[in-house]
Structure 1
Amino acid sequence: MSLRYKSAEESRVVISELMLPSHSNFSGKIHGGYVLSLLDQIAFACASKHSRAYCVTASVDTVDFLNPIEVGELVTMRASINYVGRTSMVVGIRVEAENIQTGIVKHCNSSYFTMVARDDEGKGIEVDGLLLENTTEIKRFLKAVKRIEMKRKRREEFDREDFVPEDYLSDLENYKVKVTCTDEL
């Protein structure tokens, strides 16, 4: 089978939903958990559209809540494939809320979901490649690569068997912590 390439546009998904009082938290803002649920749904739709397969959420690398969403605002989520690996895809999602009375639009959230394509037996399947058609898409792809590299380096540094906390105590001096570790240091 020859490798096929798709543009980000071919897999892009946009959804809009009016925010209702039932979606709000105790402070009257839209509950972050509700927004996360919507983010997961659109990430699934975008990744499945790109891979033409069932996809599962492998990780949520970043969820930045930038501005609160109010009851009565129209929320629009735009999802696109930012990166593809062998079986995985990073879906970038931008969330905007519009006050439908004033027309004012605000950027409320940016998120990056790593999705993995699966076959009927639950095994990972290879996904189509990604055409990078403009500078923005090149930057998005490279930023995803950097996030993946940083995540791998963090794991290698802190999850290794020979981790030595003493090597990092000076790094903690500028933080609001007091080390009372009873393990052997």
Structure 2
Amino acid sequence: MQKDFKRVKDSQVVISELMLPSHSNFNGKIHGGYILSLLDQIAFACASKHSRAYCVTASVDTVDFLRPIEIGELVTMKASVNYVGRSSMVIGIRVEAENIQTGDIKHCNSSYFTMVAKNDKGESVAVPGLILKTDNQIRRFAKSIKRKNMKSNRVKEFHETDFSSEKYLHILEDHKAKIELDS
């Protein structure tokens, strides 16, 4: 039987991987797409560990590449459940890169993945609640609620707004857009 509530630490996942030349882009830095793939994997592992169910990625709220990752650095990703809904979970992930020669560590990325627990039929299933034991855990849960509400408001605004071109031509005036409407 599944627990009704679980502690944040019971679902935390940490992975580390050495960045190889095969992970780099044309500029010699680690390719962002490779990091995104690792982020999705750790989000899946963390959400599945919390829910004890197969989980799918519903959305990625934020992926800000703050600092480049170099070939030869050790990348460590730390994931935890920041928020739970009925069947969804927000997984917060912190990415750090360590220069293994100097020991210097830099924060490279913080990301938020919304994962949904599914059963064998592909139907959403309920997940355990979250026991919050620290101010930091409470802050992360509250910030997840705030991001969720902001996203709902943004979606609502975009669905209710009339984006016909004649109403928005004035907005484009100060931006790099050249308007050439067909007659």
* TM-score (norm: length of structure 2): 0.91
Check whether the contact 1:157–1:163 (CA below 8 A) recurs between aligned residues.
no
- Root-mean-square deviation (Å): 2.1
Deviations 1:126-174 (A, max 9, x none): 00000111111111111111111111111111123x6255666665565
What residue number does 1:73 align with? 73
What residue number does 2:8 align with? 8
Looking at structure 1, the residues matched to 10 and 147 of structure 2 have their Cα atoms a distance apart, in angstroms, of 24
What residue number does 1:103 align with? 103
> Which sections of structure 2, spanning at least 5 residues, go unmatched?
none
SS in 2 for 1:159: helix
Matched ranges for 1:51-62 at <5 A: 51-62=51-62
What residue number does 1:47 align with? 47
**Larger CA deviation: 162-171 vs 34-43:** 162-171
Looking at structure 1, the residues matched to 2 and 114 of structure 2 have their Cα atoms a distance apart, in angstroms, of 24
1:157 paired with 2:151, answer no
- Structure 1 moving runs of 4+ over 3 Å: 164-182
What residue number does 2:112 align with? 112
Q: 1:133 to 1:177 in 2, by over 3 A?
A: farther
How far does residue 7 in structure 1 lie from its aligned partner after superposition? 1.0
Looking at structure 1, the residues matched to 163 and 104 of structure 2 have their Cα atoms a distance apart, in angstroms, of 51
SS in 1 for 2:17: strand
Check whether the contact 2:17–2:76 (CA below 8 A) recurs between aligned residues.
yes
Deviations 1:54-91 (A, max 9, x none): 00000001001000000000000000000000000000
Letter in 2 for 1:85: G
Looking at structure 2, the residues matched to 103 and 125 of structure 1 have their Cα atoms a distance apart, in angstroms, of 43
Check whether the contact 1:10–1:50 (CA below 8 A) recurs between aligned residues.
yes
Looking at structure 1, the residues matched to 152 and 180 of structure 2 have their Cα atoms a distance apart, in angstroms, of 29
Q: How many residues align?
A: 182
Letter in 1 for 2:14: V
How far does residue 36 in structure 1 lie from its aligned partner after superposition? 0.3
Q: 1:164 to 1:35 in 2, by over 3 A?
A: closer
SS in 1 for 2:50: helix
What residue number does 2:126 align with? 126
Q: 1:124 to 1:168 in 2, by over 3 A?
A: same
Check whether the contact 2:2–2:128 (CA below 8 A) recurs between aligned residues.
no
SS in 1 for 2:144: helix
How far does residue 176 in structure 1 lie from its aligned partner after superposition? 4.1
Looking at structure 2, the residues matched to 82 and 141 of structure 1 have their Cα atoms a distance apart, in angstroms, of 5
> Which sections of structure 1, spanning at least 5 residues, go unmatched?
none
Report percent identity of matched pairs: 67
What residue number does 1:141 align with? 141
